[in-house]
Structure 1
Amino acid sequence: MNKKHIISLFAAALALGSVSCDDYLSTVPDNRTELDSEKKITDLLITAYADHLYPLTTETMSDNVDDRGTATGLSSIGRKQEEFYFWQDPTDTGNESTKRVWETYYYAIATANQALEAIEKMGSPESLNGQKGEALITRAYHHFMLVNVFCKQYSEQTSATDLGIPYMEKSETTVAPHYERGTVKEVYEKIQKDIEEGLPLIDDNIYKVPKYHFNKKAAYAFAARFYLYIRDYDKVIEYANEVLTANPKTMLRDLKTVANLTQEYGPIAEDYIRVEYPANLLLMTGYSQLAYVYGNYGTGKRFMHSAHLASTETSQSDGPWGNYESKLFYLPPLNYNSGYVATPKMPALFEYTDREAGVGYSRTVLPVFQTDEVLLCRAEAYIMKNDFTNATADLALWMSQHTKSSVTLTRELINKYYSELPFYTPEDPTPKKEIHPEFTLSEEQQNFVYCLLHFRRIETIHEGLRWFDVKRFGIKIYRRFLDENYKITLQDSLEVNDPRRAVQIPNDVISAGLAPNPR
């Protein structure tokens, strides 16, 4: 059996890094008959979440990083980081590769399918409704991330023909099944079906630690983001309301308290992902150097969230809250003199495979869904519905929770500030970048979108979500080399319709017969 056939079984949940061809063929390919109790199904779903994370890819591809070069001793974490930064088709196959993301996200999907088939075989009892709901939602989520990483953004104009990704709705039992990519539209339709079927079934009572599963609020947060991407704004508001409750301020992160913590990266990052916080809705653990690259460490700092970028566009930029003196609560200026600014979010963990030799794997915990981002999803929906009163209220609440400013954000202030703010250029950057969405916006909607994107960029820094906003709003971004004196040299740019916005699918999957993304 050749390698091509092994890779073609990506949806059959093969752990390719640890199972050889002979090992796999010596086992029963379909072991669902072993899932003969509710407890076994519940336990299986613990593994229905990918253990390799995508954000290092998408954060590095976004405009949240600059190239500082190697002259000052800075380095990358291998070929993959450079490939991500320059939007090159990935060739790296290591732990942080897009190949590993593809495999482990399909592994999670296959696990969900296995659970769903076991539930059906047991007669779909009501006592397993919660497990069925979790399996449907996690299957939908992992497909949602795959289609957004490896395909073009959702478009009412082109998604009916744009290449999608295989949507796996059953476990495979054959050695070399044939898969088709379908279209982006078809993938989104199947995601929506799973969401609408799964949401009413979610039961928080089946979890020991709900924040590490798709609990009710996490599932609603996912639904809000999904409907935001397909521009069903009434659904966004409906599901966001379920998350935020009638008193959203009580659900948001208490950054004033965080500001009073000891200003050390490790303790703040560990505090950020605490399950006790209402703001944290879903936490996922995984193998990733994300916390090292975008943390207070020397790892991978050639491509960094530079101090220049932070002070002009993101976490240290001026805004409607005022100047830098009215800065964010959550802003320990770590290693500013070394050229980068890191916001503590994900703790840097290490899994030893040989403690004496000091070798093992980097891991972290990623807050996949948070209430503060849900608030901004709802604000965007209000903007698109021309409900500027409610949009202003949500944006003002975010600003009051995140900044030390005494300024009250008003509709008039949003329009004045962002209409007068100059547009970004690579040499003279600002937070306001030209947008080219496929839908029409009024002048006031545009001002509100500039504000929203400014807030979202700060809110989601280091989490990889900025890349999807770049795609959704048609933002042209640049590659800049900053020397030690912050002199800028342009390296490349990514146009609105550049095919590189869809990450190339893994080479081995292409070799197995799946159509590659156009280049």
Structure 2
Amino acid sequence: MKKNILTATLLAMPLMFFTACSDFLDTAPDNRIEINNTDQITPLLVSAYPNKSAALMGEMSSDNVMDNGAQFDAMLLQEQLYNWEDPTDTDDDGPYGLWESCYAAIASANQALEGIEMLGNPANLNPQRGEALVCRAYSHFLLSSIFCMPYNPNTADQQLGIPYTKETEKDVIVPHERGTLAQTYKLIEEDIKEGLPLITDASYKVPKYHFNKKAANAFAARFYLYYQKWDKVIEHATAAIGNNPANTLRHWEEDFGSLSLVSDVAAQYISEKKTANLLISTAYSSAGYVTGPYSIYQRFGHGQEIYNKETINVNGPWHARGGLVMADFIISVKQKNPFPKIVTYFEYTDKASQIGYRHTVSVPFTVDETILCRAEAYVLSSQHNYTKALEDINNWIVYHSNRSADRGSDLTVDDVNNFYDPLPYEPAMVNIATERSLKKKLNPEGFTVNAGTEENLIQLILQLRRLEGLQEGLRWHDLKRYGIEFSHNHAGRSPEVLTKDDQRRAIQLPQDVINAGITANPRN
């Protein structure tokens, strides 16, 4: 699905973009809503959430996918991302779609904030102000995660950030500087710190369609994980999870054990009623078709070699609990091996001509991913609290496993060390399936992982995060954060390695944006 709107610069009226790729209007058209009463703020914030997704960019760039062979079909965007090429299409799931969507959402958040200020910042609008600030931080975070190199405190003041916009545009052509990644992260943190305490769940009709308190804390936990502020990760993750993870984690056996239809499993996964689901999001996207249980776009996917050697079907410490429930629901598209976790539907605008829009419904923040953020932070914090980290790890494993098959026992430090110490590291260039391994060489950006127990726990946590984030693109960001070098195989030619310093780890900006004067990402 492609929208017939082109963007040549950052500037965005809150609800529409008004430039073509090479021909700017010489007057400032202004269709923005004039806010003159408090009732207009809440509806405006509906558009402060991006309606495009970064999932496909992350997933196709990561080590979760392989080339299944030229006999299968693929989208152009899919192929370009897999090859780590600069995408050329203006696809919804590509750089153009995310850039346009995030800055439109930011513009809506800024307009709401300006409206609240014009109304005198009344206390009854504090929840809306909080939501707008967190939404603004979130869109900037998505953009920086895709279009920037990983945050490294030693180099962030030298790395390109993304333009951080804090007010609506008043002119058609407005010059924007990208600034540094250090500046971008600082501004994201400022918005989170100011906005999160103001959020009130009671202000929402359906809290999980908005940044409710727990979802906002889960976002903050992930942000601080990437920011390497471990104590803040623990603080916000704990606020999102609550005091008893057993009551909030997804219970896989209970939720999915009696289901057989793909549609039922997917509906259960994204259900607003599930405590584990903190934020539910919709997007114009083909990601569900590309990664899901459909016999299309099968060339680049989560193929059998990866499925059996590195992810769902490989033996791991979690097998002490009977194995992963998700393994029982892998659909028979062997080039993708998908668990049905993204609801996909088609909106017809012309049924006779089969024309319309592809939509997805997904869950960008869950208790299950957030508890792994906290486990990682426990390991890396100055206290190196391996006991607390193992509590979170064991809770994750217990509720993701076939406990009725074999309850097993909680993992200990010795169990983790005994599993990972003998494993060989996977080589950066994998030529044959037997070279694949669960153990990766870690080259973390800006922090140290000590050999032995600390590294083994991180290896396990990264593996659980890989399983948790399958099809969602989250693995790409962990590969960046830890400087993990890996290769993509190619039908008919040698595999290609993405080294830890390869500048293609920052996906290229849309060409229209570069043409408009925004600095492009450098290339080696």
Q: Same fold (TM over 0.5)?
A: yes
Matched residue, 1:464: 473
Residue 29 (structure 1) aligned with residue 37 (structure 2) = no
Residue 133 (structure 1) aligned with residue 141 (structure 2) = no
> 1:11 Cα shift?
4.0
Summarize the Cα distance change of 1:276–1:14 in structure 2 as closer, same or farther, 3 Å threshold.
closer
Cα separation, 1, equivalents of 2:494 and 2:487: 7
> 1:517 Cα shift?
0.6
Task: Kindly provide the CA deviation profile for residues 418-437 of structure 1, in whole angstroms up to 9, marking residues without a partner as x.
Answer: 11222224222122111101
Summarize the Cα distance change of 1:394–1:432 in structure 2 as closer, same or farther, 3 Å threshold.
same
Residue 442 (structure 1) aligned with residue 439 (structure 2) = no
Cα separation, 1, equivalents of 2:498 and 2:111: 40
Cα separation, 2, equivalents of 1:279 and 1:204: 16
> 1:334 Cα shift?
3.5
Matched residue, 1:236: 233
> 1:290 Cα shift?
1.0
Summarize the Cα distance change of 1:82–1:418 in structure 2 as closer, same or farther, 3 Å threshold.
same
Matched residue, 1:8: 9
Matched residue, 1:495: 499
Summarize the Cα distance change of 1:21–1:490 in structure 2 as closer, same or farther, 3 Å threshold.
closer
TM-score of the pair, normalised by structure 1:
0.93
Task: Kindly provide the CA deviation profile for residues 206-238 of structure 1, in whole angstroms up to 9, marking residues without a partner as x.
Answer: 111111110000000011111111111111111
> 1:261 Cα shift?
3.0
1:122 to 111, 119, 123: 119
Q: State the SS of the aligned residue for 1:322.
A: helix
> 1:333 Cα shift?
4.7
Cα separation, 2, equivalents of 1:292 and 1:89: 22
Summarize the Cα distance change of 1:508–1:337 in structure 2 as closer, same or farther, 3 Å threshold.
closer
Task: Kindly provide the CA deviation profile for residues 104-159 of structure 1, in whole angstroms up to 9, marking residues without a partner as x.
Answer: 11000000000000000000000000000000000000000101100111001111
Cα separation, 1, equivalents of 2:398 and 2:237: 19
The two structures, once aligned, show a CA RMSD in angstroms of: 2.4
Counterpart residue identity of residue 254, structure 1: H
Cα separation, 1, equivalents of 2:68 and 2:9: 39
User: Which of 339-348 and 492-501 deviates more?
Assistant: 339-348
> 1:340 Cα shift?
3.1
> 1:475 Cα shift?
0.3
Matching of residues 21-420 of structure 1 within 5 Å: 28-29=29-30, 31-32=32-33, 34-71=34-71, 74-77=72-75, 79-322=76-319, 326-336=322-332, 338-385=334-381, 386-404=384-402, 405=406, 406-420=408-422
Matched residue, 2:3: none
Summarize the Cα distance change of 1:152–1:337 in structure 2 as closer, same or farther, 3 Å threshold.
closer
1:453 to 459, 462, 468: 462
Cα separation, 2, equivalents of 1:482 and 1:261: 40
> 1:97 Cα shift?
2.2
Can you give the 5+ residue segments of structure 2 that lack an aligned partner in the other structure?
A: 1-5
Task: Kindly provide the CA deviation profile for residues 310-337 of structure 1, in whole angstroms up to 9, marking residues without a partner as x.
Answer: 11111111101338x9321122354447
> 1:199 Cα shift?
0.8
> 1:10 Cα shift?
3.6
Cα separation, 1, equivalents of 2:249 and 2:196: 23
User: Which of 293-302 and 58-67 deviates more?
Assistant: 293-302
Matched residue, 1:429: 436
Summarize the Cα distance change of 1:308–1:179 in structure 2 as closer, same or farther, 3 Å threshold.
same
Counterpart residue identity of residue 426, structure 2: Y
Matched residue, 2:517: 513
> 1:22 Cα shift?
11
Query: How many residues align structurally?
Result: 507
Asked if the contact 2:74–2:300 (Cα under 8 Å) also holds between the matched residues in 1, the reply is: yes
User: Which of 13-22 and 489-498 deviates more?
Assistant: 13-22
TM-score of the pair, normalised by structure 2:
0.92
Summarize the Cα distance change of 1:160–1:249 in structure 2 as closer, same or farther, 3 Å threshold.
same
Summarize the Cα distance change of 1:480–1:278 in structure 2 as closer, same or farther, 3 Å threshold.
same
Asked if the contact 1:154–1:229 (Cα under 8 Å) also holds between the matched residues in 2, the reply is: yes
Cα separation, 2, equivalents of 1:22 and 1:11: 15
Asked if the contact 1:379–1:391 (Cα under 8 Å) also holds between the matched residues in 2, the reply is: yes
Cα separation, 1, equivalents of 2:305 and 2:174: 50
% same residue: 41
Cα separation, 1, equivalents of 2:398 and 2:93: 37
Matched residue, 1:486: none
> 1:461 Cα shift?
0.6
